[in-house]
Amino acid sequence: MGSVCVVGGGAIGLLSALELARNGQQVCLLERGDTGRESSWAGGGIVSPLYPWRYSSAVTALAHWSQDFYPQLGQRLLAETGIDPEVHETGLYWLDLDDEAEALAWAAREGRPLSSVELDKVHTAVPPLGLGFQRAIYMAGVANVRNPRLTRALREALLRMPNVSLRENCEVRGFVRRDGRVVGVSTPEGEVLVDRVVLAAGAWSGELLRHLGMVLPVEPVKGQMILFKCAADFLPAMVLAKGRYAIPRRDGHILVGSTLEHAGFDKTPTGDALESLKASAFELLPQLEDAELVGHWAGLRPGSPEGIPFIGPVPGADGLWLNCGHYRNGLVLAPASCRLLTDLMLDRKPIIDPAPYAPVGRLG
């Protein structure tokens, strides 16, 4: 049994730890705060890139595998932990797209169920939708996952495994190297020595890799969200227009997001963003003006070139592996990313071609 230290307790770190532990590894997961409280908690949880046709085939391959896998992941976590991640299949409507033709061509090429829909049919299917839209396309089968519950379920699953130790409020401050190999990490409580280390620290991954004199092009990109409370049957499908979306949870909560801001590691919610998000919400769903606004928050996405994550061993740092840089699609891509990482670490046949995600040639 090999030993692995996973650095970072978001969805990617938690699921990496779970995959490795289920495959016989002794796993220690370190999180500098509470697990699942950064980007994984702050996001919307749509199990699709917002505009999948605008991404490279590398992102598409991870997304398709994960979308197919999510229902069974949700069911297994519920059975094991009693916590339901609520993989909620609603479908998704895109309204007034500038690149609608490209979207439909992509769907035909990829075999995805995306098609044009007449507006009167959209209003029948989604009665609260605003009247100011001209065109719509719809993809059936798109789900959303209730991300705070997903990370809680992953955490609980790990706590129940005898070959896992979970240490929260434990900040990794550097790596331990011996004879050119990474053999652990340093923390305020001492060194944690293992066979291999997985860096899955989201927007903070680049800061940590600097300790090895390497430049990882992952940077924080702030996103702000708001939350309304409505009747459970208020919004039957997800809707997206002008870069903003509304996501229904099963209990009637409606998430509206999100902004894209380059503000370093500042997570302060702002009044300007609140007004902008409310305006988008009321344009999409006018009845939200009368709904209770119950939350407004910000998180930091791990921005990366083209949104393509880094998954694989770090060249020049034997023993160190990456699973980070998922940008806007961490929750979407997590199941495939973590399975691919596990395949590579255990020298199994990978679920998809690992080459596009390899750190080699992509670090400074």
pLDDT tens by residue, 103-127: 999 999 999 999 999 999 999 999 9
The strand ranges marked E within 92-180 are 92-95, 114-117, 136-139, 143-144, 164-167, 174-178
pLDDT for the residue 360 = 97
Asked whether the beta carbons of 157 and 136 are under 8 A apart, the reply is no
pLDDT of 258-311, one tens digit each? Answer: 999 999 999 999 999 999 999 999 999 999 999 999 999 999 999 999 999 999
Query: How confident is the model at residue 244, as a pLDDT?
Result: 98
**pTM of the predicted structure, to 2 decimals:** 0.97
Q: Which two tokens stand for residue 178?
A: 């011996």
pLDDT at 117: 98
Strand partners, 293: 228
Structure confidence at residue 364 as a pLDDT band (50, 70, 90): confident
Instruction: Output phi, psi for 118, to 5 deg.
Output: -70, 145
How does pLDDT run across 9-49, given as a tens digit for each residue? 999 999 999 999 999 999 999 999 999 999 999 999 999 99
Q: What is the pLDDT of residues 196-252, one digit of tens each?
A: 999 999 999 999 999 999 999 999 999 999 999 999 999 999 999 999 999 999 999
Contact in structure between 124 and 55 (CB atoms under 8 Å): no
Residue 282: predicted pLDDT? 98
Q: Which residue in 335, 177, 144 sits closest to 254, CA to CA?
A: 144
For every residue of 240-273, DSSP letters joined together read EETTEEEEE-TTSEEEEE---B--TT-----HHH
> Which phi and psi angles does 256 have, rounded to 5°?
-125, 130
Tokens of 358: 């390899």
Measured distance CA(254)–CA(290) in Å, rounded? 13
pLDDT of residue 141: 94
Q: What is the pLDDT of residue 165?
A: 98
C-alpha span between 128 and 236 (Å, rounded): 9
Q: What is the pLDDT of residue 208?
A: 97
> What percentage of the chain has pLDDT greater than the value 90?
99
Q: For 58-73, what is each residue's pLDDT tens digit?
A: 999 999 999 999 999 9
Q: Residue 127 is encoded by which pair of tokens?
A: 């009665």
* pLDDT above 90: residue 1: no
Q: Mind listing the pLDDT tens digit for each residue in 75-97?
A: 999 999 999 999 999 999 999 99
The torsion angles phi and psi of 78, rounded to 5 degrees, stand at: -60, -45
Average pLDDT over residues 186-196: 97
Helix (H, G, I), strand (E, B) or coil at 92: strand
Query: Are the C-beta atoms of residues 109 and 162 closer than 8 Å to each other?
Result: no
132 pLDDT band (50/70/90 cuts)? very high
Tens of pLDDT, residue by residue over 308-343, are: 999 999 999 999 999 999 999 999 999 999 999 999
Query: What's the CA gap between 156 and 150, in Å, rounded?
Result: 10
Give me the half-sphere count of Cα atoms (radius 13 Å) on the Cβ side of residue 62: 29
Domains of the chain: 3-56+148-218+305-357 (3.50.50.60), 92-140+219-303 (3.30.9.10)
pLDDT at position 327 is 98
Closest CA to 185 of 363, 13, 8, 36: 8
* Residue count (the chain): 364
